[in-house]
Amino acid sequence: MLSVGEDGVYVGQAGSPTPSFFTSNASNGFQVDAAEGHGLYVGHADGNGVDVNSAARHGGTFTNNSTDATVHAVQDGSGPLYSGFAGSNLRFSVDNAGNVTADGTFTSPAADLAEAFAVEGAKAEYAPGDVLVISERTDHTVEQSAEAYSSRVVGVYATKPGVLLGEKDADLSDKVPMGVIGVVPTKVSGENGPIRRGDLLVTSSTPGHAMRADLDKLGFGMVLGKALAPFNGSGTGVIDVLVNVK
């Protein structure tokens, strides 16, 4: 049955008191019910469906009772911006200040933590894998390494960081993601011979590259990290390095 009235358009349930569209009735099927604040409902009378409640919370409520999961999105300042529940247990939340709380583990295909840093010169002169040292000319700035056994070494230009830290509202367009801990593909040189898995690495005289360290030449703060893969020592290349400056 099709009914058109001043309160709305109805299919299958004429005379409903609120503007709605029903495929079969108010409880089973597809419902748009803006006047009462339900927004959009798809599902069945027992609640095993999806409910988007936009008017009541100025956001949305997505519920699937068959998996006992609910997600709220709120925009009126009355609660967290986003929150996810398993039953009555809060599992994930983003509050109005931007703080994130999760009852679980953050998983990423990347394996390092990076910080956004300004660089000496043009950003275009740098590339992922570059070994970076603290600049001696400018505060809070890094540059390519250019000497062997530098104690200014701080990290590696990250290829794809799992977490990128930076100052609030900072412009990242002129900064590079510098991996400071974790597994980072790193440019290496055979300047000091082949690299074996587990070798300590330091800066080399080849700009932006690391090399195998001689233990008797090491000083405090010179170690970039440990090699996770071998390098045959011919020319230059890229290997995974567990970055952990010491």
- Look at 92 and 24; give whichever has higher pLDDT: 92
Rounded to two decimals, what is the model's pTM? 0.71
pLDDT tens digits, 6-25: 444 454 444 444 444 444 44
Average pLDDT over every residue of 36-47: 48
Residues found in the chain: 246
- The radius of gyration of the chain's CA atoms, rounded to the nearest angstrom, is 28
Please tell me the least confidently modeled range out of 147-161, 168-182, 198-212: 168-182
Other Cβ atoms closer than 10 A to 142: 26
- Look at 154 and 96; give whichever has higher pLDDT: 154
189 neighbors 131 (Cβ within 8 angstroms):
no
DSSP-derived letter for residue 76 is S
Mean pLDDT of the chain: 80
46 neighbors 38 (Cβ within 8 angstroms):
no
Domain ranges of the chain: 2-102, 112-244
CATH superfamily of 112-244: Head decoration protein D (2.40.300.10)
- Count CA within 13 A, CB hemisphere, residue 38: 16
Tracing tokens 């010179």 back to the chain, one arrives at 222
pLDDT tens digits, 183-242: 999 999 999 999 999 999 999 999 999 999 999 999 999 999 999 999 999 999 999 999
